[in-house]
């Protein structure tokens, strides 16, 4: 019997279904034993009094994504995944975004050039399909799905990305035929364009009018339409970055009818509101993302939907643009809200925010936390059980949490390449104190000790949508 490379002792080990105090034995980057009083390891970590959780899986983040002329994302694969590791995330699923006119194959090759050898945690890719040509639908998507790119995002808004209703149906039909998962950005493009033109004509161009131009009804209508299309084609869809009560009602209604509608929300819909876009001067641009943050009532609806199983996934939608930068948020200063790069950073704060404000404040239990942030995304995107759990045979992607540590978020404590965080000044309790990626420590005692090339590409299986017991009804 071979020994262990590492034993983590006496931690409170949590999966999506159980909490137990035990040891974890690791060999060759994998978990090989869970039990009491395991034999000695070459190295040991004492974890009593600490939670031991599967590494986070952030299933929605954007790194190094071309974002239009003169605009540059702040994080590439190195800085984005470094930040992920320091926040307890060991797997990310960013996007390989097709630009209209490009093939999907060229897009995927381009993103591999950006990521391979640079990522500090493991990564897979969702595709973004923005040009649903016959080549894409008939040849490229089927072969890429077969090769491990088993999920793709489509947009109902943004001129350079959106598909029309017919194209959405054609794309969903391919997902059904190939067994892929479709993620949908649900906002009605024409409603936004009409409202934006009216606001601009009235001189209402400040950042706060971004929220006015995309009210909840715009998201509700598109969510309902996406659900209808999924029903018509008879294929599952996952509605991403759901912002509040109105789309939640649509999703809950669909799930109650037995439709396979999955849903994701993000920290900005729990911790920000549209008032944050009203910050002095141009500062509101820091919180411009789409859909926009809503109001206190919607925040409550999002908490409730995390708790009652309407949402399966909690992702960051990390979309990093620097504020004081002519290629970032400030590229739009003096212009209309329409030109502000959409997105806020959050890959490192995602888990601590939900842990502190969700678990420790009694809104969700710790097993639900693991399900939402690790197990469910791994299952839904075909990475389970290699990722998303602590089980014999799984990768030893493990995060040790100190549930008592109090700390205040400031941008200089984060490891992204963005010059702000919208959560600055929030005092949280609980923090990842050690992160292991396939058995290697990459974050310990507030020091990042991983590096570029430490992360590897993960081809995905087809979605495994069976939900863990108690997490969701109606599937
Ligand atoms: N909205 C998106 O759809 N993607 C990136 C960021 C954002 O705000
Ligand atoms: Zn989106
Ligand atoms: Zn996004």
Residues with CB under 6 A from ligand 1: 62, 185, 289-290, 317, 319, 342-343
At a CB cut-off of 8 Å and minimum separation 6, what does 92 contact? Answer: 57, 58, 61, 63, 80, 81, 84, 119, 121, 122, 123, 347
User: What is the tens place of the pLDDT at every residue in 197-213?
Assistant: 999 999 999 999 999 99
Calpha distance 73→322 (Å, rounded): 8
25 and 69 Cβ atoms separated by less than 8 Å: no
Six-digit token pair at 29? 């980057």
What's residue 471's pLDDT? 37
What's residue 126's pLDDT? 98
What's residue 324's pLDDT? 98
Does the structure show a pLDDT above 50 at 468?
Answer: no
Does the structure show a pLDDT above 60 at 469?
Answer: no
Q: How many residues does the chain have?
A: 475
Which protein residue has the closest C-alpha to ligand 1 atom 4?
A: 343
Does the structure show a pLDDT above 50 at 123?
Answer: yes
Calpha distance 170→107 (Å, rounded): 20
Question: What domains, with CATH codes, occur in the chain?
Answer: 56-377 (3.20.20.140)
Instruction: Please give the residue that has the higher pLDDT: either 468 or 454.
Output: 454
Calpha distance 227→230 (Å, rounded): 5
Which protein residue has the closest C-alpha to ligand 1 atom 3?
A: 290
350 and 89 Cβ atoms separated by less than 8 Å: yes
Calpha distance 291→240 (Å, rounded): 10
Mean pLDDT of the chain: 96
Only one residue has tokens 């990475």, namely: 383
Calpha distance 70→410 (Å, rounded): 28
Does the structure show a pLDDT above 50 at 366?
Answer: yes
Confidence of residue 2 (pLDDT cuts 50, 70, 90): confident
What's residue 307's pLDDT? 97
What's residue 227's pLDDT? 98
What's residue 280's pLDDT? 82
User: What is the tens place of the pLDDT at every residue in 269-283?
Assistant: 999 999 999 988 999
User: What is the tens place of the pLDDT at every residue in 407-430?
Assistant: 999 999 999 999 999 999 999 999
140 and 171 Cβ atoms separated by less than 8 Å: no
**Residue among 184, 274, 343, 347 whose CB has most ligand 1 atoms within 8 A, to mutate:** 343
Q: For residue 373, how far is its CA from the centre of ligand 3 (angstroms)? A: 16
Strand (E) positions, 47-188?
A: 51-54, 56-61, 89-97, 122-123, 126-128, 151-155, 181-185
Which protein residue has the closest C-alpha to ligand 1 atom 2?
A: 290
What's residue 230's pLDDT? 98
Does the structure show a pLDDT above 80 at 393?
Answer: yes
What's residue 463's pLDDT? 86
């Amino acid at each position: 019997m071979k020994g262990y490379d590492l034993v983590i002792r006496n931690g409170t080990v949590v999966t999506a279904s159980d909490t137990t105090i035990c040891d974890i034995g690791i060999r060759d980057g994998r978990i090989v034993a869970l039990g009491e009083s395991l034999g000695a390891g070459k190295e040991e970590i004492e974890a009593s009094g600490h939670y031991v959780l599967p590494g986070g899986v952030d299933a929605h983040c954007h790194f190094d994504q071309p974002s239009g002329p003169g605009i540059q994302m702040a994080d590439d694969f190195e800085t984005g995944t470094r930040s992920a590791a320091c926040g307890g995330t060991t797997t990310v699923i960013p996007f390989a975004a097709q630009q209209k006119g490009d093939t999907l194959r060229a897009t995927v090759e381009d993103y591999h050039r950006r990521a391979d050898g640079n990522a500090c945690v493991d990564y897979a890719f969702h595709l973004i399909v923005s040009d649903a040509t016959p080549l894409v639908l008939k040849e490229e998507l089927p072969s890429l799905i077969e090769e491990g790119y088993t999920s793709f995002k489509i947009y109902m808004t943004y001129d350079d990305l959106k598909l029309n209703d017919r194209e959405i149906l054609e794309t969903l039909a391919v997902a059904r035929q190939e067994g892929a998962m479709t993620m949908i950005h649900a906002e009605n493009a024409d409603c936004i364009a009409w409202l934006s033109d009216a606001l601009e004509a009235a001189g209402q161009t400040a950042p706060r009018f971004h929220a006015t131009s995309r009210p909840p009804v715009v998201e509700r209508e598109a969510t309902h339409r996406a659900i209808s299309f999924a029903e018509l084609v008879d294929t599952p869809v996952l509605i991403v970055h759901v912002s509040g009560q109105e789309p939640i009602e649509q999703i809950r209604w669909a799930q109650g009818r037995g439709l396979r509608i999955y849903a994701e929300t993000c920290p900005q819909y729990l911790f920000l509101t549209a008032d944050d876009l009203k910050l002095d001067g141009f500062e509101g641009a820091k919180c411009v993302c789409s859909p926009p943050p809503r109001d206190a009532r919607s925040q409550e609806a999002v908490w409730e939907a995390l708790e009652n199983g309407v949402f399966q996934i909690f992702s960051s939608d990390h979309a990093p643009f620097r504020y004081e930068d002519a290629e970032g948020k400030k590229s739009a200063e003096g212009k209309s809200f329409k030109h502000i790069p959409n997105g806020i950073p959050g890959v490192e704060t995602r888990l601590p925010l939900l842990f502190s404000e969700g678990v420790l404040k009694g809104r969700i239990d710790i097993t639900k936390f693991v399900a939402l942030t690790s197990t469910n995304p791994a299952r839904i995107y075909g990475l389970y059980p290699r990722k998303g759990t602590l089980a014999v045979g799984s990768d030893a992607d493990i995060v040790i949490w100190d549930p008592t540590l109090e700390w205040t978020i400031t941008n200089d404590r984060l490891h992204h390449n963005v010059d702000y965080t919208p959560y600055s000044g929030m005092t949280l309790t609980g923090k990842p104190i050690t992160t292991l990626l396939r058995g290697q420590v990459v974050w310990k005692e507030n020091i990042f000790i991983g590096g570029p090339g430490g992360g590897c590409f993960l081809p995905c299986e087809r979605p495994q949508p069976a939900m863990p017991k108690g997490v969701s009804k109606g599937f």
